[in-house]
């Protein structure tokens, strides 16, 4: 469905930038959310009715740990200020427990609501039978594609200017399959799982994304020179699908060289396609190039559900409660969510206010070279709403 979603809209959330000059309703067309729930799906799941009341949407909110709760508070404050038609269903997950009861409840609410907004959820237990909460959410909801739009902010001082890269990451397998065992005492084996079906799904997603958004090139990132079967399958699948898109250039690059090229010459990249672990590494590299962990938002897509979150998935425990955390990434994630649900007017209000705060007024937290506190950044955004 995620591919069908791409084929029916000109561009994905975060790239659309659709803005309406007044409070008038958007044109009569299906939102991404509606497309996700009104078309056949690839993986059949037991349907739970979508919570949608009088034009409002219910959204699962997972604050997570570290700076997540305070950043979610800023999102709710802004949404209340603009009257966004969103009702949050708050779910807290205890990072200290050794069972998955909280996670299973969170999964149930996302299945009911169809959409989630989350911070990074800590998993403090080191017991082998306790899975990562973040990985469990993505796997249980089959959100196989992760999209990170990496675009420079003119108001943030960085070495490289005018970067515009989209990272598309396979989100449910690879080294994150969480299949480890001790074969003999002192020898641990960790399985990397790459399947033809998921490789094809995410590769097609990447090429369709490039096609619909006017992108010219897809670069597949791999380590097939060493992992000849697993990464070899992923690379071969990308090359095969590339033949169906003759107007889009396709090349590939080994992950080691890719990281060096990103730091030295990032403008050579357009859309980047990769497996799970490489996506985690490359996402953090690019976020560092653009100003740090506090700016970009990421989007998890599956056939049925979508979850929005800060792009680097960092918890930020060390700065929690100090009023210095950068709230921009979480606010950007909330705007992506609004656009996904079809609330373009409200999304546009926040996105324009964000742009003015960051790029014109340059009200920035210390991680981006500024001196503003978290609350001062949020106050600036709210002051700019409706004025730009």
Question: Considering the domain boundaries, does residue 165 fall inside one?
Answer: yes
Which residues form the domain of 375? 46-151+292-387
pLDDT tens per residue, range 159-213: 999 999 999 999 999 988 888 888 999 999 999 999 999 999 999 999 999 999 9
Question: Considering the domain boundaries, does residue 111 fall inside one?
Answer: yes
50 pLDDT band (50/70/90 cuts)?
low
Position 60 scores a pLDDT of 96
What average pLDDT does the segment 49-76 reach? Answer: 85
Position 180 scores a pLDDT of 85
Q: How many domains does the chain have?
A: 2
More confident residue, 58 or 178: 58
Helix then strand count (H, E) for the chain reads 12, 13
Longest Cα separation, the chain = 67
Q: What pTM was estimated for this model as a whole? A: 0.85
Which of the listed residues 265, 290, 315 is the one where a domain comes to its end? 290
Which of the listed residues 243, 272, 290 is the one where a domain comes to its end? 290
The SS3 call for residue 212 is helix
Is residue 315 domain-shared with residue 377, that is, in the same domain? yes
First-residue to last-residue Cα distance in the chain: 36
What average pLDDT does the segment 211-239 reach? Answer: 97
386 pLDDT band (50/70/90 cuts)?
confident
What average pLDDT does the structure give for the chain? 87
Is residue 232 domain-shared with residue 341, that is, in the same domain? no
The per-residue DSSP string of 130-161 comes to S--HHHHHHHHTT--EEEEEEE--TTS--SS-
Q: Residues near 300 by Cβ (< 8 Å), separated by ≥ 6? A: 138, 141, 143, 145, 146, 171, 306, 307, 308, 309
What percent of the chain stands above pLDDT 70? Answer: 85
282 pLDDT band (50/70/90 cuts)?
very high
What average pLDDT does the segment 229-243 reach? Answer: 98
Q: Residues near 47 by Cβ (< 8 Å), separated by ≥ 6? A: none
């Amino acid at each position: 469905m995620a591919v069908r979603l791409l084929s029916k809209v000109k561009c994905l959330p975060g790239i659309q930038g659709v803005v309406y000059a007044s409070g008038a309703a958007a044109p009569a067309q299906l939102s991404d959310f509606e497309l996700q729930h009104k078309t056949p799906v690839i993986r059949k799941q037991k349907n739970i009715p979508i919570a949608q009341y009088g034009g409002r949407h219910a959204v699962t909110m997972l604050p997570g740990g570290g700076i997540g709760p305070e950043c979610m508070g800023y999102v709710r404050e802004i949404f209340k200020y603009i009257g966004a038609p969103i009702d949050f269903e708050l779910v807290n997950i205890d990072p200290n427990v050794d069972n998955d009861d909280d996670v299973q409840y969170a999964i149930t609410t996302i299945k009911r609501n169809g959409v989630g907004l989350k911070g990074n959820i800590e998993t403090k237990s080191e017991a082998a039978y306790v899975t990562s909460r973040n990985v469990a959410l993505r796997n249980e909801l089959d959100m196989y594609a992760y999209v990170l739009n990496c675009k420079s902010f003119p108001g943030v001082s960085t070495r490289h200017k005018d970067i515009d890269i989209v990272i598309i990451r396979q989100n449910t397998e690879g080294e994150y399959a969480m299949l480890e065992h001790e074969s003999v005492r002192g020898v641990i084996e960790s399985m990397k799982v790459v399947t033809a079906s998921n490789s094809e799904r995410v590769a097609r997603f990447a090429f369709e994304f490039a096609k619909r958004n006017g992108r010219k090139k897809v670069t597949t990132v791999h380590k097939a020179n060493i992992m000849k079967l697993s990464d070899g399958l992923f690379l071969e699948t990308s090359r095969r699908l590339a033949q169906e898109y003759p107007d889009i250039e396709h090349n590939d690059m080994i992950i080691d060289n890719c990281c060096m090229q990103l730091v030295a010459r990032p403008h050579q990249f357009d859309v980047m396609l990769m497996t799970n672990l490489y996506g985690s590494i490359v996402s953090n590299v690019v976020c560092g190039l653009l100003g740090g962990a506090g700016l970009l938002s990421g989007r998890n897509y599956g056939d049925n559900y979508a979850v929005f979150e800060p792009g680097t998935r960092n918890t930020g425990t060390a700065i929690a409660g100090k009023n210095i955390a950068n709230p921009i990434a979480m606010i950007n994630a909330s705007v992506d969510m609004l656009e996904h649900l079809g609330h373009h007017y409200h999304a546009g209000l926040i996105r324009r206010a964000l742009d003015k705060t960051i790029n014109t007024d340059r009200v920035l937290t210390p991680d981006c070279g500024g001196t503003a506190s978290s609350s001062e950044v949020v106050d600036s955004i709210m002051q700019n709403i409706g004025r730009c």
